[in-house]
Amino acid sequence: MKALSQKRRHPLAAIALLLMGLLVTGGLYAVATTVNQAKASTTSYSANDVEEGGKLFAANCATCHGMGASGSQDGPSLVGVGAAAVDFQVGTGRMPMQMNGPQAEEKPAQFNDTQTHQLAAYVASLGAGPALPEEGLLDEQGDAAAGGELFRTNCAMCHNAAAAGGALTRGKFAPALAGVSGKHIYEAMATGPQNMPVFSDANVSPEGKRDIITFLKQIETNGSPGGADLGALGPVSEGLFVWIGGLGVIIAFTIWLTSRTS
C-alpha cells in the first residue's frame, strides 16, 4: 500500500491521468462521429456513379479545385466535404462559380440531377463527410413551433426572423430562404456553406433540422398575416414606419394650423 501511495504522488501521475483522459475522450468522440455518419449515410453510390462523377469533375471543377479535388490557389480541397456539400453547391447553381466575388450566388444549375448525383458520388468517395439527408427528414411534418424556436436561436441573426435574408460584412449576405427546397436547407445546415456555421447533429439533431424546415415552409405558405410585411423586417420596421408616418402627419398638421393663423 505504501508503494502504491508513493506512485500516486509521483509528479508524472497527473500527466499520465490527463493523457489517459484525453485518449478516452477522443475515442468516444470518434465513435460518436462514426455513428452519426453511418446514420446519415443513406445513399449508396455505384462504381459507375463515381467514375462518371470523376470525369465531370476533371472537365468542370479541377481547374479551381485541383485534380483529385486536392485544392489549389483558386479553390479549396474537397476531400472530406461529403456528398451533401456537393449536392447543395451544385444543385443550387452556386458551383461552378460564374465569376469571382465575395460569395458564390445562386443561379440556374449547370448540371442535371443525374450529373449532380455523380459529382456527389465522386467527392464522397474521396473521404467521409456529411451524406445526403434521409427522405423522412424532408417531409415537412415536424414540429413547426419547436423549429421556430431553433431558427430564432440559431439562424435569425443572419437570415432574419422571417427568413427574409440580411446583409453581412464585406459585400456578403445571408440569402432569403423562401423557395429553397427542404433538401438544400438541410444540406446547408449540415455543411455550413460560405459564411454559415456548421450545425452538426450534436448542435442541432436531425429531428431539429426537420422541425426548422417545417417552420420555414409553414411561414412561406402562410405569408404575412398582417397584410403588407414591409420587407419582412419584423415589428421594429413596422413600428418605425408608424412612428415616422405619424410624426410626419403631426408636423404637417402643425404647419397647416400656423399658416391658417397667420
pLDDT in tens, 138-155: 999 999 999 999 999 999
Cβ atoms of residues 185 and 94 within 8 Å: no
In a domain, 251, yes or no: no
Q: How far apart are CA 66 and CA 57, in angstroms?
A: 9
In sequence order, what are the beta bridge partners of 122? none
Higher pLDDT among residues 241 and 34, named by residue:
241
Cell 398582417 sits on residue: 226
In a domain, 230, yes or no: no
Which of 79, 106, 132 delimits the end of a domain? 132
Domain, as residue range, for 181: 133-225
Return the DSSP state at 136: G
Looking at the structure, do residues 150 and 216 belong to the same domain, yes or no? yes
Within 8 A by CB and 6+ apart from 4, the residues are none
Q: How far apart are CA 98 and CA 116, in angstroms?
A: 17
pLDDT at site 41 = 44
pLDDT tens-digit readout, 168-210: 988 899 999 999 999 999 999 999 998 899 999 999 999 999 9
Q: At what angle do helices 47-60 and 113-126 cross, to 10 degrees?
A: 100
Arithmetic mean of pLDDT, 68-88? 93
Looking at the structure, do residues 83 and 167 belong to the same domain, yes or no? no
Looking at the structure, do residues 120 and 137 belong to the same domain, yes or no? no
How many domains does the structure of the chain reveal? 2
Which of 62, 97, 132 delimits the end of a domain? 132
Instruction: Of 1-10, 120-129, 148-157, 176-185, give the lowest mean pLDDT range.
Output: 1-10
Q: How far apart are CA 110 and CA 32, in angstroms?
A: 37
CATH number at residue 185: 1.10.760.10
In a domain, 11, yes or no: no
pLDDT at site 4 = 47
